[in-house]
Structure 1
Amino acid sequence: MTAANNEYPKASNATLIGATITYVAGLFLLLSFAGPYWIESYSGMFSSFKHMGLWEYCFDRFRFPSYQYDKYFDGCHYIFGQELYVIREWLLPAWLMAVQTFVTLALMLSFMAQILLACVVVRMPLRTVLRYEWIFVSISFVMVAISSVFLFLAVAIFGGNCYRRDWLLYPSFNVLSWSYAFAVIAFILFGLAAVLLFLESRKLYELRLEAKNLVAQMQHSQPEHALHQLRDQLHQQQQLGYFRN
């Protein structure tokens, strides 16, 4: 088996499909993570709230009723920026911080899983991947599965709380938007990829056990084979000696 002639086992179709789905899901997750359209107001309602994402809010001359000064919040601003500092406690409730945490962790885990799967697919480093492929795929499966669970929690928490009346004003004017939809798609794709990677990791582990058993049987049978050869040689020598006498 030589690397120069590409005479080494390639990644299986299940691994390739699982890796491809993971990459596509990671793209959807990245767009959802950065997109400022988790929820938006209907265009015909002329609401002062326009849209928001995990890290950004957009207003059109919005006045917060509980703020003691007559101040308008206008334009799009980073949630942790100075402009929204005075109303950040209202804009960032505990449940939304939980959503941010789950989506961030899912993004980090999926990115690490994509690196491991890329190593398995391109076979680099070759010896390490061929020796520990089942470990690479198993770790990728765990990361992708956890990412799917985190995204499920994120979309469930956000979908269950985004119409609360103690958060954005006039929640009936708002609707879930494409960034939220991308998070849902990513959650489904990660779940599908996790199933494929789990099946492939189990298959690779079984093949590894079979290879170990085969090597053990060969090592165990070698002394007996050598003993049989020695007996045959002694028997031949005895026959030669008998004919000479």
Structure 2
Amino acid sequence: MGGTSRVTGWTIAGTVVISLSIGCLIFAHAFPYWQESEKSRDTGVPNIGLWNICFRKEGIPAPGWITDTLGKRFNRCYYMFERDLRTVRSKWIFKDWFIAVIFFATLGLILQPLAIIFNVLYYVRVCSPHLEYFLMAVSSLLNLINGFTVAIAIFVFGIMASRDRYWMPQPESNHLSYSWGVAAVVPVLSFIASMCHTVDFLRLKSYRDRNARAKIYARGEFARY
């Protein structure tokens, strides 16, 4: 690349944005506040996230449309796969659309770290200079896919959580909460990171193509990377 630096502002900006996106995804997965009930209306389920569901302290039974063979009253926050939820999990909480939300949100949590790994490989010069454009291309593609997958998750949850009357009690008394809001930022960050690394991919590929043409005439200035 002659005197041009391998690492530009686009490279660094893309990596920083990916790191922010990973942080947002971890936050969204960790806190059970994708949906929250209005403080003034007791729905029995104050808040729910991707992996946890919380019930009021006095305890509530499973909704009437669910056959709960144990007849248990739920009165605390539960991890979704706790034994106590086994009789109602598949019939009540894990609706098909909610499983899809978890799947796409978790897929995003896999793709983003992969993208950052390709960034690290670029920084440490893991491959030969004329192939480095490939690392940026993969990083850009992973971010683009991640943006769409997480967008699907937030749109499906945002629509179905308020429309499915056989999911959480009194859907009209519930609202989307801050964990969902943080997750909604992820597609924007992913698309920005994808743009940054697409610019880097095009830059590196142009150097590679110029280098290949230069070798036809002479080896030296243009071939140095």
- The farther-off stretch of 152-161 and 199-208 is 199-208
Q: Which has the larger radius of gyration?
A: 1
Mapping 1:69-88, distance limit 5 Å: 70-88=71-89
Cross-structure match for 1:29 = 25
Determine the C-alpha separation between the residues in 2 that align with 1:210 and 1:34: 47
1:153-177 per-residue CA deviation (whole Å, 9 max, x = no partner) reads 1111111100111111101111101
Mapping 1:149-160, distance limit 5 Å: 149-160=148-159
Over 3 Å counting, the alpha-carbon distance change for 1:162 and 1:86 in structure 2 is same
Cross-structure match for 1:225 = none
Cross-structure match for 2:97 = 95
> Is the counterpart of residue 58 in structure 1 residue 54 in structure 2?
yes
How far 1:35 moved relative to its partner?
A: 1.7
Cross-structure match for 2:222 = none
Question: TM-score normalised to the size of structure 2?
Answer: 0.87
How far 1:119 moved relative to its partner?
A: 2.9
How far 1:132 moved relative to its partner?
A: 2.6
Higher helix content, 1 or 2: 1
- For this pair of structures, how many residues does the alignment match? 210
SS of the residue corresponding to residue 32 of structure 2 reads coil
Q: Which has the higher contact order (CA 8 A, sep 6+)?
A: 2
Cross-structure match for 1:188 = 188
> Which blocks of at least 5 consecutive residues in structure 2 are unaligned?
220-225
Determine the C-alpha separation between the residues in 1 that align with 2:85 and 2:38: 23
Determine which of 84, 105, 108 is the counterpart of 1:106. 108
Question: TM-score normalised to the size of structure 1?
Answer: 0.81
> What amino acid maps onto 1:87 in structure 2?
V
Cross-structure match for 2:147 = 148
Over 3 Å counting, the alpha-carbon distance change for 1:13 and 1:133 in structure 2 is same
SS of the residue corresponding to residue 25 of structure 1 reads helix
Determine the C-alpha separation between the residues in 1 that align with 2:89 and 2:77: 14
